[in-house]
Amino acid sequence: MPSTEAIAAIIREIAQTEIVPRFRMLARDDIREKGPGDFVTTADLEAERQLTRRLVDALPGSAVLGEEAAAQDRTLFDLLTGDVPVWVIDPVDGTGNFARGQPGFAVIVARVQHAEVRAGWIYDPLADVTVTAEAGAGAWSKGVRLAVARGVAGKDMIGAAYGRTATGSRAGKALAESGRVGAVRNLGCSGLEYVELALGRAQFSLHSRSLPWDHAAGMLITREAGGLAGFLDGAPYDPRIATRPVLAAADQTAWDIVRDIAG
């Protein structure tokens, strides 16, 4: 099994050669919509192509579930039920920001086997920061073991919230107006929101869908940094399920507040 450092180096190299040089340099025909408001760029496609080749080379016999490939072939989700290791790739998480020339994007990779997330990587190309985790071995960045910021009072907590509450109101608005949290700060990039949580800069991240390329790595990283992460209803996270709300939180207090408002 390749080391987390070796995979991190591959991710960084490809991001710096295929993504960063295209930032704020995209031509009109470098951007298209897969669906309403759902963009893909040349950077997404080239980064995923390179990551697919390099990661399979690093772990012969493995398979790849990439966001852009899955958009063309939904049967690729079936890889998550098999026995071989599967690399789950979001080549540019936060494509909307990237396409608009705004900061706020990341590369996310997870390694899944037997429907369990075994390792995860989130790379912020502009800050040149990588956060990694292996199951049972902690979350790390720049050689430092990470720990979420536990014990933050509700009125001081900040985090991200997308989608709608059980009553139909917007989750971000409901949390912001509840008076029970400090602020809602949506970055438009789930990867960076998980990084903020792991680095102790945020206390919660709520998302209405659980697509594995957006959340598999972040779920593991949060848990390995000492936080809680799973489906909003309390069930353990399962990367094979793409349509249920997921929540990551620094501690039980943060989890209970967000779930009480959104659930």
Maximum alpha-carbon separation in the chain: 52
The answer, yes or no, to whether residue 38 has pLDDT greater than 90, is no
Confidence class for position 37, pLDDT limits 50, 70, 90: confident
Residues 181, 154: Cα–Cα separation, whole Å = 5
The answer, yes or no, to whether residue 50 has pLDDT greater than 90, is yes
Length of the chain in residues, anyone? Answer: 263
How crowded is the C-beta side of 152, counted as CA atoms within 13 Å? Answer: 26
CATH of 154-262, one of 3.40.1800.10, 3.40.190.80, 3.50.50.60, 3.40.50.720: 3.40.190.80
Looking at residue 226, what DSSP letter applies? T
The answer, yes or no, to whether residue 35 has pLDDT greater than 90, is no
Phi, psi at residue 150, to the nearest 5°?
Answer: -85, 155
> Where in the sequence of the chain do the CATH 3.30.540.10 domains occur?
4-145
Residues 214, 199: Cα–Cα separation, whole Å = 18
Residues 69, 84: Cα–Cα separation, whole Å = 18
pLDDT score of 263: 87
C-alpha torsion angle, residues 19, 25, 29, 35 (rounded to 10): 60
The answer, yes or no, to whether residue 114 has pLDDT greater than 90, is yes
Residue range 203-231, pLDDT digits in tens: 999 999 999 999 999 999 999 999 999 99
Confidence class for position 36, pLDDT limits 50, 70, 90: confident
Q: Does domain 4-145 have CATH number 3.30.540.10?
A: yes
How crowded is the C-beta side of 164, counted as CA atoms within 13 Å? Answer: 4
> Where in the sequence of the chain do the CATH 3.40.190.80 domains occur?
154-262
Mean pLDDT, to the nearest integer, of 67-86? 95
Residue range 120-139, pLDDT digits in tens: 999 999 999 999 999 999 99
Residues 245, 162: Cα–Cα separation, whole Å = 9
Q: Mean of the per-residue pLDDT values for the chain?
A: 97
What Å distances lie between residue 131 and 65, 124, 136, 152, CA to CA? 21, 9, 15, 22
pLDDT score of 143: 97
Residue range 152-201, pLDDT digits in tens: 999 999 999 999 999 999 999 999 999 999 999 999 999 999 999 999 99
Share of the chain above pLDDT 70, in %: 100
Looking at residue 164, what DSSP letter applies? B
Of the candidates 106, 128, 127, 125, the residue with the CA atom closest to the CA atom of residue 217: 106
pLDDT score of 75: 95
Of the candidates 69, 124, 62, 63, the residue with the CA atom closest to the CA atom of residue 98: 124
pLDDT score of 116: 97
pLDDT score of 183: 97
First to last CA, the chain: 39
Integer-rounded Cα radius of gyration of the chain: 17
Confidence class for position 33, pLDDT limits 50, 70, 90: confident
